[in-house]
Amino acid sequence: MKLHLPQDGGATMIENNFIDNYMPKANGEFVKLYLYLLRCAQAGRELSLSAIADVFDHTEKDVRRALAYWEKLSLLRLQYDTGGSLSEISFLDHSSVSGYGSGSAIPTAVGASSGLEETAAGIAEPEAPAAPARHQISRSRALALKEQEQIRQLIFVAEQYFSRPLTSTEQSNLLYFYDTLHFSADLIEYLIEYCVSKGSSSPHYMEKVAQEWYKEGITTVEQAKSSSNLYNKNYFTIFNAMGIKGRNPAPAEVEYMDRWLNQYDFTIEIILEACCRTIRQTHQPNFQYADKILEQWNKAGVHHLSDIQQLDAAHAQKKARPVKETPRSVQPNRFNNFPQREYNWSQLEQQLLYAQEKKEG
């Protein structure tokens, strides 16, 4: 990955505009990464995402978030190769950034405070904007939309994929994608194709996929294909770990895997570890069992494989700890629910001998 500066310099120079207007509102980890990139660029170094992540002890996803933040403020330009990998980072001249001159307010990364929260495991991920809820479109608005050529064409395409007329719910879904999520007709058509290829044409599943795309900021077919290819690869990697071959994931299995990848934000390595443990324990693919493992790891704050090793060590130490046995109390019953007598056996023996002698005499 190459780094480019607008001009060369013999030292790491930081413009006052950055210090005055950009640095105060930015997350501290983001500022450190920006300064490190600036230093490497002026030294003519080439970097990779993994190398940057190693320097700051973050994940590559943390680094991408920081880069995306500075790109959004037009301080960096990110370029990707044909395979979708980040290939070049260019620093942009601060003075060329419109709307962020001296004294201008800079938007914060998240919320109304100073940006993202920092955690011991790295930079906390900002919550993606939730997709607007599907509301009932007025009858007049629905009729107006259905008069549009693009909507008529989408209904026709969907009916060809489903091999039947659309239900009112399915038609309402199309209007939701178009009018509320503001998907283009091409993107909606690809959405239909994608869901059908997954073996599901249910309105609920299609709506869920559309909302996930909205949260990811997908606006083009190319972006959707790139995201779909990545998740397809992850799906089948998980399937291989479970020993499943020769079929596509069922909707219920996709729901599990999406939760692990999106909601829990686990790396594929952590998910594969849970799959291996599932097979060792159940001797068969069991998504519900794996989900229980990953749910526990999520609650325990697992972010790396090393975190799992620490949990295992703590569990083993707890099992090795000796268990104190508490004395069992004798429960009263019909044999011992009265005060127990104490006997002097020596005295009883003397009494028996005396009685015997008396009888013989």
Average pLDDT score over the chain:
78
pLDDT for 273: 94
> Cα separation of 355 and 339, whole Å?
29
pTM: 0.37
pLDDT the model gives residue 152: 93
pLDDT band at 280 (very low <50, low <70, confident <90, very high): very high
User: What mean pLDDT comes out for the span 85-90?
Assistant: 81
Q: At what angle do helices 149-162 and 139-146 cross, to 10 degrees?
A: 80
Which CA distances in Å does 337 have to 246, 328, 329, 331? Answer: 69, 16, 13, 9
Instruction: List, for residues 41-85, the tens digit of each pLDDT value.
Output: 877 777 787 778 777 777 777 788 888 888 888 888 888 766 667
pLDDT at 311 over 50: yes
pLDDT value of residue 235: 86
**Residue 233 pLDDT greater than 70, yes or no:** yes
The predicted pLDDT at position 337 comes to 56
Q: Domain 2-123: state its class.
A: mainly alpha
Q: Are 116 and 27 in contact (CB under 8 A)?
A: yes
> Which ranges of the chain would DSSP assign to H, the alpha helix?
16-17, 28-42, 49-56, 60-72, 139-146, 149-162, 168-175, 185-197, 203-216, 221-242, 251-258, 268-282, 287-299, 305-320, 345-360
Q: What is the pLDDT of residue 133?
A: 72
Task: Give per-residue pLDDT as tens, 174-186.
Answer: 999 999 999 999 9
Residues forming beta bridges with residue 3, ordered by sequence position: 89
Pick 233-315's CATH classification: 3.30.70, 3.10.50, 3.30.730, 1.10.10.
1.10.10
